[in-house]
Amino acid sequence: MSNAALENLLKRDRRIVVAAIVVLTALAWIYLIWLSRHVSMAVPSMPSMPDMPDMPDMPGMKISTAVTPMLRAWTAGDFAFIFLMWAIMMVGMMTPSAAPMILIYSRVARQSAQDGRPLASTGWFVVGYLLGWTAFSLVAAIAQGILARMAWLTPMMAATSNKVGGCVLIVAGIYQFTPLKNRCLSQCQSPFAFIQSHGGFKRGMKASVQLGLRHGFYCIGCCWALMALLFAGGVMNILWVAAIAVHILIEKVLPEGKAIARVIGALLAVAGLWLLFK
């Protein structure tokens, strides 16, 4: 096959992969926006308290029939709902920042196929990557359940006090300066360096999933503290969610990402101290 024909195939594959990333991300955000509107209107019940009589509607206030599993003991269905919410949120927040790595995998896979050494489909790499964030979502859902039982979260899934919010901000800010953060961010910023340091591209579905999973774990190491900020500003605060997602994308894509991470870390720590002593 000529170089021109191969280049056309690579361009076509690139467009397909970009379109898939855009669609996947858009669907996740559509769901999150829809969910935030319903959760914001929900009225949770309090644990260990008798049911309150129906209250008359207040001007400008709507009472939703949706049930928010916040201030009461969770059922299995509640936990499944929260876990699914976190999993979809991670797809919407993290897929764009993984796009450079996904596109590189797609390009190498096409070239390997032309050389008679095909790699597994790019989709398997994405599956592995999202499996890592699904595992994180499970941990986040458990953490949210614990915080809810301790009454440290509001119905909008935000910190109930300045002290709780301040501590979260300080921890997230300090983590931005740690060697672990720096190492994980380096792996996320340099896809080729990540691949070379982990044995390069390997054939087979299992190898592709494992590579994606490993990349996902590095991203978790890079971003878990930033995700914890959702408990400070509100898990269902869409503007807060979007701001964190944009920052994560900036950290990973821009050459100055490490410096930006430290600046944000300092600002988070200062904001946390301000909340603690407010």
Per-domain residue ranges of the chain: 3-47+62-276
End-to-end Cα distance, the chain: 68
CA 170, 164, 152, 66 torsion: positive or negative?
negative
Query: pLDDT band at 50, cuts 50/70/90?
Result: very low
Tell me the chain's radius of gyration from C-alpha atoms: 21
Rounded mean pLDDT, 132-159: 86
71 with 47: CB under 8 angstroms? Answer: yes
Q: CA 165 to CA 152: how far, in whole Å? A: 9
Q: CB within 8 A of 200, min separation 6: which ones?
A: none
* pLDDT for the residue numbered 208: 86
pTM: 0.81
Q: How far apart are CA 81 and CA 157, in angstroms?
A: 14
Question: What percent of the chain stands above pLDDT 70?
Answer: 78
The fraction of the chain above a pLDDT of 90, given in percent, is: 44
Amino acid type, 237 = N
